[in-house]
Amino acid sequence: IPASFNAAARDVALQELKLQGYEVVVSDLYAMNFKASATRDDIIGDVRNSEHFQYGEETLHAGMEGRLSEDIVAEQRKVTEAELIIFQFPLYWFSFPAVMKGWIDRVLSQGFAFSLEKMYDNGIFKDKKAMLSFTTGAAPTMFQPDGINGDINVTLWPLQNGILHFCGFQVLAPQIFWSPAHSPPAARAAMLEGWRTRLKGLLAENPLTFARCELFDLSFQGGFLLRPEVKEELATQPLGISTGHHLGKPLPPDNQTRAATAEDERGNGKKACGSIHTV
């Protein structure tokens, strides 16, 4: 929506990154009337199995054969060319709005964005960065571990790990605009100025910390589980590996909302891992 706070946040990013010399491409999904539903229409020509249509398998082969719909191909081209993708949105029902979820479902297709051989820190987009920038309707206290909505780190885990990190992206800490609709004009202006300041050094930030693939037995026989020697070693650690890989222990503080520090990377054994696209 042109007059929304999200549009203002998008415009700040557009202005600041252009000043830094980046080419910025915006996909305004509402203005584009982007189709949110993943359907048979996303494939040009015949499908391999019309009696038992499997969207993932069919789009995998269609992508390899150049038979995906034009709107998907156009967005995939933007992803391929981007150094960083910023997802700008209002948090709806603890997740993305429907049209953005549809973009993810359709554009980040199997073969293009991921495969069983190329996922997480071995993912296809491991040389790219991505981040979430979003507004909430709730105050920050409501998303604390003892707040009524629960820990924001838990809310963000499926979005940042299950989508972005799964595709290999280096995930930058989210930009959270807490409850701008219920904030006075001066507070909203301060939020945007803080975002502008962060953008000046955004590309130099360390990404969030996730469990590395090498910790797991990446085979169907091994069940893609933590390797036994790793579990034994981690048994002495006071915290879990990440928000999702908590191992029944306390969560690492701010695991999904704070960039990794040198100390974090040593403790987790993590190695440090042109254009911008805004969705």
Express each pLDDT in 37-64 by its tens digit: 999 999 999 988 888 999 999 999 999 9
Decide if 172 contacts 207 (C-beta within 8 A).
Answer: yes
Q: How confident is the model at residue 183 (pLDDT cuts 50, 70, 90)?
A: very high
Express each pLDDT in 20-35 by its tens digit: 999 999 999 999 999 9
Q: What is the pTM of this model?
A: 0.91
Whether residue 260 is contained in a domain is answered as no
Express each pLDDT in 156-173 by its tens digit: 999 999 999 999 999 999
Instruction: Report the first-to-last Cα separation within the chain, whole angstroms.
Output: 13
Q: For the chain, where are the E strands, in sequence order?
A: 23-26, 84-90, 129-135, 170-171, 175-177, 275-278
Residue where the block lists tokens 């995998």: 60
Q: How confident is the model at residue 2 (pLDDT cuts 50, 70, 90)?
A: confident
Whether residue 80 is contained in a domain is answered as yes
Whether residue 151 is contained in a domain is answered as yes
Helices (H), 20-170: 55-64, 70-81, 98-107, 152-159
**139-165 mean pLDDT:** 97
Joined together, the tokens standing for residue 267 give: 């403790």
Q: How confident is the model at residue 116 (pLDDT cuts 50, 70, 90)?
A: confident
Whether residue 252 is contained in a domain is answered as no
Question: What's the pLDDT at 264?
Answer: 53
CATH number, residue 34: 3.40.50.360
Whether residue 56 is contained in a domain is answered as yes
Express each pLDDT in 188-245 by its tens digit: 999 999 999 999 999 999 999 999 999 999 889 989 999 999 999 999 999 999 999 9
- For the chain, the domain total comes to 1
Q: What is the mean pLDDT of the chain?
A: 92
- Print the domain residue range for 20: 5-207+265-278
